[in-house]
């Protein structure tokens, strides 16, 4: 059973970390993803008296395997076996703010930070030993967790922890291990969570059910705009142990059991305002009519407007022009673990255990909503039953905090599947307009690309288009929308790569050859050729219901190419085979990386073929699994992943890039099988419509 | 309320809960066996899978009152002490998970499958597990893990 320690006293912190020394680094070299103005001291590493090293990080484990990868990175630099490393992740009372776990940033940004801290500690070990032995530190060797002298003396991290009375490591510029000499990084270390996962012992936030826990339930109107007008709760209050809570528009109950909480909630009659969402039948018309001019902002990671050359001149010189519009439906993240928060107050201090991707953002949002200083809010993140960009917001955690106010017991608020998929943001619907110009020698000489409502991520073409103009136009959405794995890049790549395939057909050139003519980036060329070779591209003839498709992309530093084979039978599409090549720089853990690529490809199948949130004017209609189709075993093709390890290049993140290639490769394969050019995600409903209308005519 | 008599992982329990209470809630809230997970509450995802008389059931839609007198097996009862079951070992070796939230259900569904069919083909594995969702998309690895646990070739 889980024991909730609501507030972390100095003694409790010591208990959690164990006896030893906490090493603090200045943030100038070892800071968070987001740049901060003030110099920070960051407690990053703890060395216990038995020599175990604990790495402290604000990043969290959401299934991407980063607990393992970070342990590997630390082990490599400390020259310790990975089994001697542990990680405390996402506890705002203990760890530094490394930014949210999003945007494929942990491997490129946090791995180097942790490597640097660990390299510094390793050098401290070396120098301490040198000082004790009065010997030149360059003559010492550090391996297997100890510094050894030429005459056989040794000094390990346990001894360092026992002797050290200092807490600041000064040598933050210690040299990192040359990737060419990696011994732990670059190997397929199995998940450090593996034994706990397969035994059912990994404790997710939804598993935190302490003995005195009260169960919460929140009442909800038809949609996110509904406002509470009034309620009648007399019957609910008669149930034993039930409290009814009404605070700042949140109406809910707490009860001694989950069953009783649900019963009490059903007995409350609440009246809601009749605010509407907007009509689904006019969705795309409305998004277009409400689209705003792109705001040329400060650039940032996803600048909303970019130009090169002259699109006008390019169009004028083009032998062929192609204009097409692509559309994307709303889709839900559907992480298998629904949000669960366990909140507990101690006086004016609040602790919330949960499964968020962004502990420090949550702390700030909750403190602001409850009008209290951040220092009095502690967020503790459990390793999470996945997120895919969907768990950045604080709705559930804030509700739990409100339900538990005024009592001393912890309140557990576990959202249902329907709440998880209808009460937070989803991936935006989008319209993408593309006009392109093609020269007579098969080169794209003009590219005009406008995304409405989808987002600015992944607008930049990875091709050598001399004249291009890309823009993102924000609009007003009937549904709450936000981050999703790869953000808008999946939609933008779908439109871009589909347009490329169509232009290749106009030029009468094979889609692989057509791309090679328009690529100058050697890494993009390399993944394309690797995937094509692995697949046997061009060796078999498409037709008779069997089709082949190809797509490539550069997203968040990761180069992806995907070849797909499928069968089209009437309205059904059966995926047969995916062969992908991926280059994300130096590979820290090939097994984790390959798993991420495979997972992203499978997740992409849903958005490409069948996932769609349906809604009417009042509510989202299919927020449960029986109404919302997700990829299953039977939807998954044979998958082959070729990793290109570039040890001499920095590592990019891998969680997002591969998903962007899926829809365009499938669309191309459907067309090659003798089907239609489908310009909508998801494709299956669109495929049915086109087939039916063709029949009618 | 009434007293429910349940046999879980060989141990007998007397639980004060209504007969209609889902088995999943009894396992998790009353017995603190949290290996079985809530994913959907409508028997669609398989995260709550346990074995009832040796066959896989969705504990989220199984009333606890209906299982009295029949043995329930959960992921917590699969391994023998510290030694992992061969299915669990195969899942680790194949890295057949990411977040791991679906894994206990996948493993229990696999245990049910292998008792009925000791050497399933790849197609039989896919078909038997098609009611279990892995949202992280590790399906190919799961098929390899199950084949490995069944003593078959890794590639199926």
SS3 for A73-114 is HHHHHHCCCHHHEEEEECECCCCCCCCCCCCCCHHHHHHHHH
Residue contact B47–A336, C-beta within 8 A: yes
Angle between helices B139-149 and B86-93 (to 10 degrees): 140
Residues of chain B with C-beta less than 8 angstroms from the C-beta of A194: 91-92, 95, 97
Question: What pLDDT is recorded for position A279?
Answer: 86
Distance CA A224, CA A220 (A): 9
Report the complex ipTM. 0.97
Question: In terms of CA atoms, which chain A residue is nearest residue B18?
Answer: A259
Distance CA A31, CA A41 (A): 9
Closest among B29, B126, B65, B61 to A417, alpha carbons compared: B61
pLDDT tens-digit profile of A570-581? 889 999 999 999
Distance CA A85, CA A245 (A): 44
| CB-CB contact of A291 with B57 (8 Å) | no
Which residues are CB-neighbours of A359 under 8 A, at least 6 positions away?
Answer: A58, A60, A90, A91, A92, A379, A380, A381
Residue A251 forms beta bridges with which residues?
A246
Compare CB distances from B140 to A334, A598, A632 and report the shortest one's residue. Answer: A598
Question: What pLDDT is recorded for position A164?
Answer: 63
Dig out the tokens for A31 from the structure.
């800071």
Residues of chain B with C-beta less than 8 angstroms from the C-beta of A65: 98
3-state secondary structure of A474: coil
Distance CA A155, CA A499 (A): 62
User: What phi-psi label fits residue A389: left (phi over 0), alpha (psi between -120 and 50 degrees) or beta?
Assistant: left
Distance CA B66, CA A530 (A): 56
Closest among A338, A342, A345 to A214, alpha carbons compared: A342
Question: What pLDDT is recorded for position A378?
Answer: 97
Residues of chain B with C-beta less than 8 angstroms from the C-beta of A199: 35, 75-76, 78-79, 84, 88
Distance CA A268, CA B44 (A): 29
Residue contact B138–A599, C-beta within 8 A: yes
Dig out the tokens for A102 from the structure.
């999003």
Query: Mean of the per-residue pLDDT values for chain A?
Result: 92
H or E element at residue A160: helix A157-163
Mean predicted confidence (pLDDT) in B5-10? 96
Tell me, yes or no, if A601 comes closer than 8 A to chain B by beta carbon.
yes
Characterize B98-128 residue by residue with b for buried, 16 or more Cβ atoms within 10 angstroms of its Cβ, and e for exposed: bbbbbbbbbbbbbbbbbeeeeebebebbbeb
**Exposed / middle / buried, residue A543 (Cβ in 10 Å: 0-12, 13-18, 19+):** exposed
3-state secondary structure of A207: helix
Give how far A690 is from chain B: nearest CA, Å.
Answer: 29
Residue contact A206–B38, C-beta within 8 A: yes
Question: What pLDDT is recorded for position A26?
Answer: 58
Angle between helices A590-609 and B139-149 (to 10 degrees): 120
| Residue A2 confidence (pLDDT) above 70 | no
Mean predicted confidence (pLDDT) in A47-51? 90
| Residue A7 confidence (pLDDT) above 60 | no
pLDDT tens-digit profile of A63-121? 999 999 999 999 999 999 999 999 999 999 999 999 999 998 899 989 998 998 999 89
| CB-CB contact of A355 with A381 (8 Å) | yes
Ranges of beta strands (E only) in A521-652 are: 546-555, 558-569, 572-583, 638-643
pLDDT tens-digit profile of B16-50? 999 999 999 999 999 999 999 999 999 999 999 99
Compare CB distances from A625 to B44, B79, B126 and report the shortest one's residue. Answer: B44
| CB-CB contact of A143 with A184 (8 Å) | no
Dig out the tokens for A452 from the structure.
């409405």
Distance CA A469, CA A459 (A): 10
Dig out the tokens for A307 from the structure.
């130009």
Compare CB distances from A626 to B42, B84, B88 and report the shortest one's residue. Answer: B42
Decide which of B129 and B3 is more confident. Answer: B129
| CB-CB contact of A618 with A555 (8 Å) | no
> What is the share, in percent, of chain A residues with pLDDT greater than 90?
85
Decide which of A21 and B95 is more confident. Answer: B95
pLDDT tens-digit profile of A258-311? 999 999 999 999 999 999 998 899 999 999 999 999 987 666 788 899 999 999
Question: What pLDDT is recorded for position B152?
Answer: 64
Residue contact A198–B107, C-beta within 8 A: yes
Distance CA A69, CA A55 (A): 12
pLDDT tens-digit profile of A448-468? 999 999 999 999 999 999 999
Give how far A62 is from chain B: nearest CA, Å.
Answer: 6
pLDDT tens-digit profile of A500-515? 999 999 999 999 999 9
Coarse DSSP helix, strand, coil percentages of chain B, rounded to the nearest 5 percent? 35, 20, 45
| Residue B116 confidence (pLDDT) above 70 | yes
Dig out the tokens for B148 from the structure.
């490995």
| CB-CB contact of A253 with A413 (8 Å) | no
| CB-CB contact of A536 with A555 (8 Å) | no
Question: What pLDDT is recorded for position A326?
Answer: 98
Which residues are CB-neighbours of A125 under 8 A, at least 6 positions away?
Answer: A142, A146, A147, A155, A156, A157, A160
Residues 366-395 of A with CB under 8 A from B: 383-386, 388
**β-pair type (A320-328, A680-681):** parallel
| CB-CB contact of A333 with A427 (8 Å) | yes
Compare CB distances from B129 to A194, A385, A633 and report the shortest one's residue. Answer: A633
DSSP B53: T
Taken as a whole, chain A contains a residue count of 697
Compare CB distances from A633 to B29, B41, B139 and report the shortest one's residue. Answer: B139
| CB-CB contact of A213 with A1 (8 Å) | no
Question: What pLDDT is recorded for position A299?
Answer: 65
Residue contact B100–A63, C-beta within 8 A: yes
Cα dist from A192 to A4, A61, A481, B136, B144, whole Å: 24, 11, 34, 18, 20
Mean predicted confidence (pLDDT) in A183-195? 97
Residues of chain A with C-beta less than 8 angstroms from the C-beta of B25: 258-259
Distance CA B116, CA A175 (A): 57
Residue contact B101–A198, C-beta within 8 A: no
Most A-contacting residue of B19, B99, B139 (CB-CB within 10 A), to test interface: B99
> What is the share, in percent, of chain B residues with pLDDT greater than 90?
90
Residues of chain A with C-beta less than 8 angstroms from the C-beta of B142: 633
Question: What pLDDT is recorded for position A571?
Answer: 86
Residues of chain B with C-beta less than 8 angstroms from the C-beta of A195: 84, 92
| Residue A557 confidence (pLDDT) above 80 | yes
**β-pair type (A377-381, A349-354):** parallel
Which residues are CB-neighbours of A38 under 8 A, at least 6 positions away?
Answer: none
Mean predicted confidence (pLDDT) in B55-77? 96
Dig out the tokens for B66 from the structure.
């209906």
Cα dist from A102 to A5, A110, A307, A330, A414, whole Å: 28, 12, 27, 20, 23
| CB-CB contact of B98 with A599 (8 Å) | yes
């Amino acid at each position: 059973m889980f024991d909730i320690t609501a507030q972390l006293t100095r003694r409790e912190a010591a208990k959690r970390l164990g006896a030893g020394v906490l090493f603090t680094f200045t943030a100038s070299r070892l800071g968070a993803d987001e740049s901060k103005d003030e110099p920070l001291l960051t407690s990053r590493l703890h060395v216990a008296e038995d020599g175990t090293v604990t790495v402290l990080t604000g990043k969290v484990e959401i299934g991407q395997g980063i607990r393992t990868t970070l342990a590997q990175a630390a082990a490599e630099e400390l020259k310790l076996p990975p089994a001697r490393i542990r990680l405390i992740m996402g506890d705002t009372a203990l760890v530094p703010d490394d930014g949210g776990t999003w945007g494929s940033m942990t491997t490129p940004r946090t791995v180097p930070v942790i490597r640097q801290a660990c390299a510094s500690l390793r050098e401290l070990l070396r120098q301490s030993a040198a000082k004790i032995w009065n010997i030149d530190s360059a003559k010492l060797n550090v391996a297997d967790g100890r510094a050894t002298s030429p005459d056989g003396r040794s000094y390990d991290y346990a001894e360092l922890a026992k002797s050290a009375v200092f807490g600041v490591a000064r040598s933050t510029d210690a040299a990192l291990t040359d990737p060419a000499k990696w011994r732990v990084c670059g190997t397929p270390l199995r998940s450090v969570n593996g034994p706990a996962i397969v035994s059912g012992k990994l404790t997710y936030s939804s598993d935190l059910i302490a003995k005195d826990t009260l169960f919460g339930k929140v009442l909800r109107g038809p949609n996110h705009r509904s406002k509470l007008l009034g309620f009648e709760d007399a019957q609910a209050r008669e149930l034993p142990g039930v409290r009814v809570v009404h605070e700042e528009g949140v109406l809910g109950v707490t009860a001694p059991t989950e069953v009783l909480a649900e019963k009490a909630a059903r007995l409350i009659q609440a009246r809601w305002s009749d605010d509407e969402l907007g009509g689904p039948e006019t969705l795309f018309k409305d998004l277009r009519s409400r689209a705003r001019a792109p705001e040329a902002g400060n650039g940032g990671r996803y600048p909303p407007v970019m130009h090169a050359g002259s699109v006008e001149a390019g169009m004028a010189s083009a032998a062929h022009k192609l204009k097409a519009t692509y559309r994307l439906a709303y889709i839900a993240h559907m992480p298998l673990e629904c949000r669960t928060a366990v909140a507990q107050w101690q006086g004016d201090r609040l602790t919330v255990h949960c499964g968020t991707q962004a502990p420090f953002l949550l702390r700030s949002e909750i403190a602001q909503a409850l009008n209290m200083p951040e220092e009095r809010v502690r967020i503790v993140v459990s390793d999470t039953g996945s997120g895919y960009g969907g768990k950045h917001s604080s709705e559930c955690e804030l509700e739990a905090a409100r339900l538990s106010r005024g009592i001393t017991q912890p309140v557990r608020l576990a959202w249902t599947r329907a709440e998880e998929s209808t009460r937070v943001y989803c991936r935006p619907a989008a319209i993408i307009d593309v006009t392109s110009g093609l020269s007579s020698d098969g080169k794209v000489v003009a590219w005009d690309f406008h995304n409405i409502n989808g987002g600015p991520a992944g607008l930049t073409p990875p091709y050598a288009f001399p004249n291009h103009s890309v823009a993102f136009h924000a609009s007003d959405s009937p549904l709450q929308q936000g981050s999703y794995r790869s953000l808008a890049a999946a939609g933008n790549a779908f439109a871009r790569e589909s347009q490329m395939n169509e232009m290749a057909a106009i030029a009468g050139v094979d889609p692989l050859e057509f791309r090679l003519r328009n690529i100058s980036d050697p890494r993009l060329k390399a993944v394309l050729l690797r995937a094509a070779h692995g697949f046997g591209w061009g060796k078999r003839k498409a037709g008779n219901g069997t089709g082949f498709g190809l797509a490539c992309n550069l997203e968040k530093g990761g180069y992806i190419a995907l070849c797909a084979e499928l069968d089209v039978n009437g309205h059904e599409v059966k995926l047969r085979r995916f062969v992908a090549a991926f280059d994300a720089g130096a590979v820290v853990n090939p097994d984790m990386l390959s798993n991420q690529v495979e997972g992203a490809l499978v997740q992409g199948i849903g958005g490409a073929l069948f996932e769609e949130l349906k809604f009417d004017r009042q509510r989202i209609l299919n927020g449960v699994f029986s109404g919302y189709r997700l990829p299953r075993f039977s939807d998954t093709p044979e998958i082959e992943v070729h990793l290109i390890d570039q040890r001499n290049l920095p590592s990019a993140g891998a969680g997002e890039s591969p998903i962007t290639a899926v829809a365009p490769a499938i669309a191309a394969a459907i067309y090659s099988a003798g089907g239609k050019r489908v310009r909508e995600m998801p494709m299956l409903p669109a495929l049915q419509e086109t087939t039916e209308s063709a029949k009618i005519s | 309320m009434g007293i429910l008599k349940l046999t879980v992982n060989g141990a007998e329990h007397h639980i004060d809960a209504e007969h209609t209470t889902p088995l999943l809630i009894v396992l998790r809230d009353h017995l603190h066996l949290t290996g079985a997970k809530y994913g959907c509450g409508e028997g669609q995802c398989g995260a709550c899978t346990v074995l009832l008389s040796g066959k896989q059931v969705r504990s989220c839609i199984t009333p606890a009152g209906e299982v009295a007198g029949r043995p329930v097996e959960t992921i917590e009862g699969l391994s023998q002490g510290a030694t992992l079951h061969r299915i669990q070992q195969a899942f680790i070796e194949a890295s057949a998970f990411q977040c791991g939230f679906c894994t206990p259900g996948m493993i229990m569904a696999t245990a049910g499958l292998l008792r009925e069919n000791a050497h399933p083909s790849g197609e039989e594995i896919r078909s038997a597990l098609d009611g279990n969702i892995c949202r992280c998309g590790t399906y190919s690895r799961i098929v390899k893990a199950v084949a490995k646990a069944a003593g078959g070739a890794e590639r199926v």
